[in-house]
Chains A and B, each alone.
Chain A
């Protein structure tokens, strides 16, 4: 039967007083619709019931007669409403996504990590991204996208800050990092860097001039080269005060395009072989090819140790 013919027939059946009477009878629990065939004109009248006991035989015979036998009868078994799940962002989280503490404008999700103490899964970025430069408290909300990208509570909460993050202190600092536990049920790709590109969980040590890349919230995926290691900084100005760092990594762009810009904080720096090497946290506005500036990263081994986490896989 043609689709329109079946639809017209269905309308006639449900308007038939016999159908209405049978529907009001507690013994009949039948549904009617259009059954699709394998060709354009192969439609039938669909009749569904939970079991044979739910069929009104006279009504079924009447429908068969009206449809010239073109009836598709099936028993469905018990029907139940699907359980409602908590509303969650439907997008899959991945490395390089926009994410930040609710009190911070913007930042980047560096990588997914598993806390060694209890196996909790979370995300790692900078202290000044996830913990608002030492102001963050345990269980503070982390948003994706970040507030500057219109992320708002409660719909965009993806994680909660772990309160024992390394504080930024005036001296002896090696990392600017924090960990936040992911909200359960969130979809994420722990090691995906792009189509058919997977981050390795073995880390690279920057003792030679490595070619590297990063994926950041502001500048996306960029390429660079490590030009300096063991870099000790004196007096980096944060809102929480001046901080001195030791043992840092410097990265220059390979061309006049900036390796990083504001909002790329917390980006994971990885080698061309996809081995993690650093966590981006700082930039210099001058220097580099075309005076495009430079980026600076914490050695990734220091970050993993400070947070007592491993790469999630």
Chain B
């Protein structure tokens, strides 16, 4: 997997948003992560998703999944 640019990561994020929003229970957020000198997509969930529910990459852009638990205003 090559290093993705910011624009490629933003495009991948839009694809993943359309794919996951409303379909993945516990989805809390989607963002652009810094990965190995390039960019990737970070998926925030409140519980560990089922195997295969989230792809490892989108069009070659790496996808990182993070279980963040409860999100609370400080």
Instruction: Give me the interface of A with B, judged by CB distance under 8 Å.
Output: 126, 128, 133, 176, 207-209, 226-238, 248, 250, 260-265, 280-287, 294-296
Q: How far is the CB of A272 from chain B (nearest CB, A)?
A: 16
* Contact string against A for B residues 19-60, beta-carbon threshold 8 Å, 1 for contact and 0 otherwise: 001000001111111100000001010000000000000000
The size of the chain B interface, using a CB distance under 8 A, is 24
Ranked nearest first, the 9 interchain pairs of A and B with the lowest CB-CB distance are A231-B31, A286-B69, A284-B68, A265-B74, A228-B31, A209-B34, A230-B32, A233-B29, A285-B69
Kindly state the separation between the CA atoms of A235 and B30 in the bound complex, as whole angstroms.
12
- For B30, the chain A residues whose CB sits under 8 A away are 231-232
B15 touches A (CB below 8 Å): no
A282 with B10: CB separation less than 8 A? no
- Contact of A265 with B29 at beta-carbon distance under 8 Å, contacts A208-B34, A231-B42, A284-B68 already known: no
Q: A230-B32, A248-B31, A284-B44 are in contact. Are A294 and B68 (CB under 8 A)?
A: yes
Quick check: A236 and B73 within 8 Å, CB to CB? yes
Are A282 and B72 in contact, CB atoms less than 8 angstroms apart? Answer: yes
The 9 listed contacts between A and B (C-beta, < 8 Å) are: A126-B73, A227-B33, A232-B29, A248-B29, A250-B42, A265-B73, A282-B71, A284-B68, A285-B72
In the assembled complex, how far is the CB of residue A239 from the closest CB belonging to chain B, in whole angstroms? 9
Known: A283-B72, A286-B67, A286-B69. A230 touches B28 (CB 8 A): no
Instruction: Provide the bound-state CA to CA distance between A232 and B72, in Å.
Output: 15
Contact residues in B for A261 (Cβ distance below 8 Å): 74
| Chain B neighbourhood of A262, CB < 8 A | 72, 74
> Which residues of chain B come closer than 8 Å to A133, judged between CB atoms?
73
With a cutoff of 8 Å between Cβ atoms, the chain A residues found around residue B8 in the complex are none
A229 touches B73 (CB 8 A): no
Do A287 and B34 have beta carbons less than 8 Å apart? no
A49 to B17: give the CA distance in the assembly, Å. Answer: 85
User: Is residue B3 contacting chain A, with contact meaning CB distance below 8 A?
Assistant: no
Contact A287 B28 (CB under 8 A): no
Interface centre among A176, A228, A236 (most CB of B within 10 A): A228
For A217, give the chain B residue with the smallest CB separation: B74
For residue B5, give the distance in angstroms from its CB to the closest CB of chain A: 11
Which residues of chain B are near A248, meaning CB under 8 Å?
Answer: 29, 31
Q: Bound complex: CA of A128 vs CA of B28, how far in Å? A: 20
Contacts of B70 in A (CB 8 A): 284-285
In angstroms, Cα B73 to Cα A261, docked, is 10
Q: In the complex, are the beta carbons of B68 and A282 less than 8 A apart?
A: no
User: Once bound together, how far apart are the Cα atoms of A236 and B46, in whole Å?
Assistant: 12
B16 → A minimal CB distance (Å) = 11
Is A236 within 8 A of B68, CB to CB? no
